Amino acid sequence: MPESHLVHISHVLLHLLTALLLPPLIPGLINKVKALMAGRSGPPVLQLYYDLAKLSRKQAVFSRTTTWVFLMGPVGTVAVGLVAAMLVPFGHLHAPCGFQGDVILFAYLFGLARFLTVLSALDTGSSFEGMGAAREVTFAALAEPALFLGFAALAKSTGSLSLSTMLAHTGPLFRFSGPLVLVLAGWAIVYMAENSRIPVDDPNTHLELTMIHEVMVLDHSGRPFALVLYGASLKLLVLGALLVGPILPRNAGPLLDWLAFYLALGVLAAGVGFAESIMARFRMTKVPQFLVAGVLATAFAFLLMLV
Amino acid sequence: MLAAMGILSLACAGIGLVPVLMAKPLDRVVSTLSGTEQVLPSLDNLVNLSWLTVLAIPLLVVGFILWKWAAATPRGKEQPTWGCGYLAPNARMQYTASSFADGLVQGMGWVLWPKIQGGRVRGFFPFPRRFQSHVPDPVLDRVADPGLNGAAFLLSGLRFLQAGHMSIYLMYILLTLLVLLIWMVV
């Protein structure tokens, strides 16, 4: 077998292992940074791995109003996240799967996961979970234009509709440096909203009236809840790859590229932890304004690419 | 009702999982609408749609494995849905479709113009109040229906032209032909 094939196979394997094993580390890093900022030692960085192992052994309590639809949310979130992880390049190496137009599939895979989570929440018949589901889809509807306008700006600059080329573009940026800053600013807002992080949502709150994502999964326990937690961390990784991809060093070589990717993810997690430590979550009525700011930033970036 | 919804859902899933099957019929629709052949490139040439089917296989396989794993979780006794300490919810408290859409309806109020009546409670020990909200269809109820009703009202003034006599209708045809003749000559 030629050496280039071996390198390619090892790259795909590393990509797969990263997508499978790394996600629970990211919330651990975020929580560690938050704890250190608050002067606490905090839980171990590997806490989510322990939690997942514990939850997979624990008994699950199901509401008697739920049906088979209830399991669709957690299962769909993880399955969709893993497929989406195969489309997005980790660093500047091409993703294992990629084709023209995969960018639309990528965005709507998460739409499918959200749809299944909402169905799962509504299946419980709980008013609170219905309320959380309504908030989730409302804010997602506002975050989606920002994501797509950012994609449009990247597509215009790279001439491709494939994530591997758009994010791992090895050519010069030409006039794109300025718009890229705006795209990343808009996507940072999308990252906070999609992952239910402060200032949009607080993953630690357990007050039903103020929650968004957490309130949708109140009735999950045992293995379904383990899937919910793992799916959330997977989303942090996959969307994080989207955010850090365009700013990683170009043509660094495979080894340095992977190192730069892991480092950038660590910095992103630390940045999220830092942001969550220094600010409170917005009032619910302010969240749409925050998301519209993201849409405007990416819209400006796209306009700059057009002129 | 459920069967119809099920068929539509299956059709949606089919389009999502095997979109290649829909590419050619869609191309035919586009070419019929545009009136000429090959105005737009074929959908199948623009996007490699078979990739969606290829990726659907791992999605379904992983989903099935996870489903089996999650369904095999050790189960405790079934309990009521978590009610935040309130143990007597009834149907009047259910989260309705209009509640679900309320956020977007409020946000898009400038387009949707929701009709809201009552509901505001004032003072201590308020009297019972009624509340109702309704979102008329912005196209059908706001534009098409009033537009067609207005047109029907205006055109009703022309009903005297339908006298019911064949001779008068023949005169209309003659007059129309005369007008066309004059238009041709001019």
Q: pLDDT averaged over consecutive 10-residue blocks of chain B (186 residues)?
A: 92 90 86 72 80 92 96 88 77 79 86 87 85 89 93 90 85 94 90
* Cβ of residue B72 closer than 8 Å to a chain A Cβ: yes
Residues of B in contact with A86 (CB under 8 A): 55, 58
Of A87, A230, A74, which Cα lies nearest the Cα of B70? A74
B16 assigned to some structural domain: yes
Alpha helices in chain A (DSSP H): 3-21, 25-37, 47-57, 69-85, 102-123, 127-158, 163-167, 177-194, 213-216, 222-244, 254-278, 287-306
Distance in angstroms (rounded) separating the CA atoms of residues A199 and B184: 72
Q: In chain A, how long is the greatest CA-to-CA distance?
A: 59
Contacts of B88 in chain A (CB under 8 A): none
pLDDT of A60: 93
Q: Considering only CB atoms, which chain B residues are within 8 Å of A207?
A: none
H-only helix segments in chain B: 2-17, 20-34, 43-46, 50-71, 97-107, 109-112, 145-155, 166-185
Q: Give the model's pLDDT for residue A126.
A: 86
- What is the pLDDT at residue A206? 67
Interface test with A, best of B66, B79, B112 (most A CBs within 10 A): B66
CB contact under 8 A, A138 and B103: yes
Encode A198-234: b = buried (16+ Cβ within 10 Å), e = exposed: bbbbbbebeebebbbbbbbbbbbbbbbbbbbbbbbbb
- For chain B, how long is the longest CA-to-CA vector? 91
- Check: CB of residue A229 under 8 Å from CB of residue A79: no
Cβ within 8 Å, pair A61-B79? yes
Q: Which two tokens stand for residue B164?
A: 């019911």
Decide if B132 is inside a domain.
no
**A286 at the B interface (CB within 8 A)?**
no
- Give B-chain residues touching A63 at CB under 8 angstroms: 78-82
Closest chain B C-alpha to A271 CA, distance in angstroms: 30
B81 touching A (Cβ < 8 Å): yes
Query: How would you class B173 by CB atoms within 10 Å of its CB: exposed for 0-12, middle for 13-18, buried for 19 or more?
Result: exposed
What ipTM does this complex have? 0.92
What is the structure's pLDDT at A265? Answer: 95
Q: What is the pLDDT of residue A227?
A: 96
pLDDT tens for B13-56 read 999 899 888 888 888 888 888 776 656 777 777 788 889 999 99
pLDDT per residue as tens, chain A (307 positions): 677 788 889 999 999 999 999 999 999 999 999 999 999 999 999 999 999 999 999 999 999 889 999 999 999 999 999 999 999 999 888 899 989 889 999 999 999 999 999 999 999 888 888 888 999 999 999 999 999 999 999 998 888 899 998 888 766 666 678 889 999 999 999 999 999 898 888 887 767 667 788 888 889 999 999 999 999 999 999 999 999 988 888 777 888 889 999 999 999 999 999 999 999 888 888 898 999 999 999 999 999 888 7
Residue B137, in any domain of the structure: no
Query: By residue range, what is the domain housing residue B36?
Result: 2-71
Nearest to A91 by CA among A282, A247, A305, A276: A247
pLDDT at A174: 61
Task: Tell which of A12, A63, A136 to mutate to test the B interface (max B CBs under 10 Å).
Answer: A63
Q: Residue B37's pLDDT is what?
A: 60
A61-99 burial: b if 16+ Cβ within 10 Å, else e:
ebbeebeeebbbbbbbbbbbbbbbbbbbbbbbbbbbbbb
Give the distance from residue A270's alpha carbon to the nearest chain B alpha carbon, in angstroms.
Answer: 31
> What is the secondary structure of A38-63 as a DSSP string?
TT---S-TTHHHHHHHHHHHS-B--B
A43: left (phi over 0), alpha (psi -120 to 50) or beta: beta
**Is residue B40 included in any domain, yes or no?**
yes
From the list B54, B66, B84, which residue is nearest A78 (CB)? B66
Determine, for residues A100 and B66 on separate chains, whether the beta-carbon distance falls below 8 Å: no
Q: Are A23 and A265 in contact (CB under 8 A)?
A: no
A&B contacts, CB < 8 Å? 125
Torsion sign (Cα): B22, B137, A111, A67: negative
Residue B81 to residue A125, Cβ atoms within 8 A: yes
What's the number of domains chain B is made of? Answer: 1
